[in-house]
Every structure is written in structure tokens, then in C-alpha cells.
A and B are shown apart, each in its own frame.
Chain A
Amino acid sequence: MTAESPRPSLAALFSGFFVAGLSGFGGVLPFARRIMVERRGWLTAAEFSDLFSLCQFLPGPNVVNLAAAFGARQRGFAGAMVAIVGLLAAPVAIVIALGTVYERIGSIPPVHHALQGLAAGAAGLFAAAALRIAWPAARLPARAAVVGLAFALFGVLHLPLPAVIVVVTPLSVFVAWRQHR
């Protein structure tokens, strides 16, 4: 944090992440960035990138990690809790409402067919997002090999996720270490 950037109160943490959570369809990150960096000036662009790289690196939902890390840095344990609850309160309530309706009427034929179409569409959106994420990572041949190996072990051979991580991560670290020399 720079000296002149304001230290957000608990209420400000809550409202900032609440707006970010409600704005994001298919990805909250751009909205979280706009609010934290551009609207409220909590972080500079570089500080944000630095913090977010950690949240991507660690397991778990990236944007929830971001709320936890930033909230804790600003206001300790209470800050982390308030930021996470702010981020998730509205989306969780909305999805529970949607899910309750689905459990009631999801098996009626026209609704059922629309949901099949929705599932196919959501799979297509997700596939597009996956391609966009994997493409930059695969531009160098050695890294592309790591992407391919993780894909093959997990998606084709159906090895359990922890096993795939244990096999592929050291290899990826080796590749990255050689490229950073």
C-alpha cells in the first residue's frame, strides 16, 4: 500500500465487494479490479496485479481469495470476513432462489428442455473461457507440453486431481526455472 491510499473501513470493504459480486457474470475479476483500483483507489494497478497473482497461484476461488487477502491486509480477520460475505451474499442468495425454482419445476418438459439447452450453452461458454486461459500459457513449446500433459492425465486418463498436480507441477516448475535463468 502507498502512504496516501485510504484504508477502507469495514463498511466500505463490504459495499465494494458487494457491488463486485453482483456485477460479474461469468467472471467477477474485471469488476473487482475496476472497483478496487479505478473507483475507490484502494490499490494501484501494480499492487492489484501483485495481489491477484497470489490469489491465482493459491487453490480456491480466485476472487474469494482476493477478498480474503485484501480484507485481512486492511482490517485483519474481521476485514477478511466482511469482504468475503460482501462478495458472496447476493450471488449465493440469487443462486439459492434459482436452484429452489429448478427443484420445483425443473422436470416439466419445456423447462427441462430449456435447461438442457442452457447446460449445452454454459458448457460452450466454459470451453471458450478455458481456451482463452490455456492459449497464452501454451505459446512456448515446453509450456505447451505441460498444458498437454495436464490435459491428458486429467481429461483423457481421468487420474485423480491431486495425483495430476503432484506429477505435473514439479515438471512445470522445472520448465519455468530454466526459462527464468
Chain B
Amino acid sequence: MILLVLLGLFAGLSLIAIGGVASTLPAMARAVVAHHWMSAPQFAALFGLAQTSPGPNMLIATLIGLHVAGIAGALVATLGMIGPSSVLTVVVAGVWERFRAARWRLVLQAAITPVSGGLILAAALVVVRAADHGLRAWAITLAVMLVSLCVRLHPLVLLAAAAALGAALF
């Protein structure tokens, strides 16, 4: 049952999405290719599409679900991605409040940022590799990255420019 497979995949990713959904992108890319749902470049295209929509960056899960099993797949994948982590958050929120000044809480909080930082850098490498085949794609990625780091522009402006360059160059 394809919907159950989708639910299981994203529910599992939901619980290991340390620092946010971004850190699970490599695992997600690996899973969709292993299931023969799509190729790595197709995954990169869906990721690009998800980035052009407003909202949190977990929408890539919605698009994978849609590609695999239509609207039902989209909803099931979304539910899987947010369900387990939301339940965990609601349960832990009460405890967290009570230990506002506890040293273990400060230590845990400080410990999580370098871990998620490294995971997200690795995820960026995987996404870049999936998206970029050939010199021109690498050039677009590098240009968008540098402009985004140096200038404050709306992300949609950069994405539109990248799509226009793609249509013109490829």
C-alpha cells in the first residue's frame, strides 16, 4: 500500500529531523531514488518547486507525496512529516517550561546548534549535487549563493532569475 509506505517514510524522517526538515533532505533523496519514485535531478526539480511556494520548507514532502500518489499522497506525506514531531513538541513543551533556568537545558540547547549546523551543510552539498549536472548549473548555483549571501533580495527574485537563465542557457 503506497500511502502507508509514504506515511512510514515521512513519519520516520519527522522524528529525526534535527534542526528542521532540511537535515533530512539527503535521506529523503536517497529514499525516493531507492524506491524508484524519481531520479536525483527530478528530486532537485521538486525541491526547487517547493522553494517557490510560500510556507515552511517541509513542502518538499507534500510534492513527493503528490508525485507518488496524487492528492491523497500529498496529504499523507504532509501528515507524516508533521505528525510525530508535533505530538512530541506538545508533550515536551510543558516540561521545557518548568526547567527554564536548569543547566542541563542550557547545555542541551547549546549542544544542538553545531550538530544541526553540520547536518544542514551536508544536506546543502547533497541538494547541490542533485541539482547540478554540468558547468552551467554549477555557475547558476554559485551565483545565486553568492548574491544571496551579499545582497538582501527577495528569494523569489533570485529563483526567477535562475529559471530564466536555465531556459536561456540549457
How distant is the Cα of A180 from the Cα of B110 in the complex, in angstroms?
A: 9
Q: Which of A97-127 contact B (CB under 8 A)?
A: 98-100, 102-103, 106, 110, 113-127
B100 at the interface (CB under 8 A from A): yes
- Say whether, besides A54-B96, A130-B22, A134-B117, A68 and B48 are in contact (CB < 8 Å): no
Measured CB to CB, the nearest residue on chain A to B12 is A162
A124–B111 contact, CB under 8 A?
no
A118–B118 contact, CB under 8 A?
no
Measured CB to CB, the nearest residue on chain B to A50 is B100
Interface residues as binary, B110-144 with A (CB distance below 8 Å gives 1, 0 otherwise): 11111111111111111110111000011011111
B114–A61 contact, CB under 8 A?
no
Q: What is the number of residues of chain A that contact chain B, defined by CB distance less than 8 Å?
A: 96
B118–A65 contact, CB under 8 A?
no
- Say whether, besides A60-B82, A130-B22, A115 and B88 are in contact (CB < 8 Å): no
Q: Which of B65-112 contact A (CB under 8 A)?
A: 66-67, 71, 74-75, 78, 81-82, 84-90, 92-93, 96, 100, 103, 106-112
B57–A138 contact, CB under 8 A?
no
The prevalent SS among residues of A at the interface is helix
- Say whether, besides A120-B144, A160-B27, A115 and B57 are in contact (CB < 8 Å): no
Chain A residues near B132 (CB-CB < 8 A): 120, 123
- Say whether, besides A150-B117, A150-B118, A180-B107, A125 and B145 are in contact (CB < 8 Å): yes
A44 at the interface (CB under 8 A from B): no
B88–A99 contact, CB under 8 A?
no
A contacts, CB < 8 Å to B: 21-28, 50-51, 53-65, 68-69, 72-73, 80, 84, 87-88, 90-92, 94-96, 98-100, 102-103, 106, 110, 113-138, 143-144, 146-151, 154-156, 158, 160-162, 164-165, 168-169, 172-173, 175-177, 179-180
B contacts, CB < 8 Å to A: 14-24, 26-27, 41, 44-59, 62-63, 66-67, 71, 74-75, 78, 81-82, 84-90, 92-93, 96, 100, 103, 106-128, 130-132, 137-138, 140-146, 148-149, 154-156, 158-159, 161-167, 169-170
Can you identify 12 A-B contacts, CB atoms within 8 angstroms?
Answer: A61-B20, A88-B56, A114-B164, A121-B166, A122-B44, A122-B127, A123-B131, A150-B122, A154-B122, A155-B121, A155-B126, A180-B107
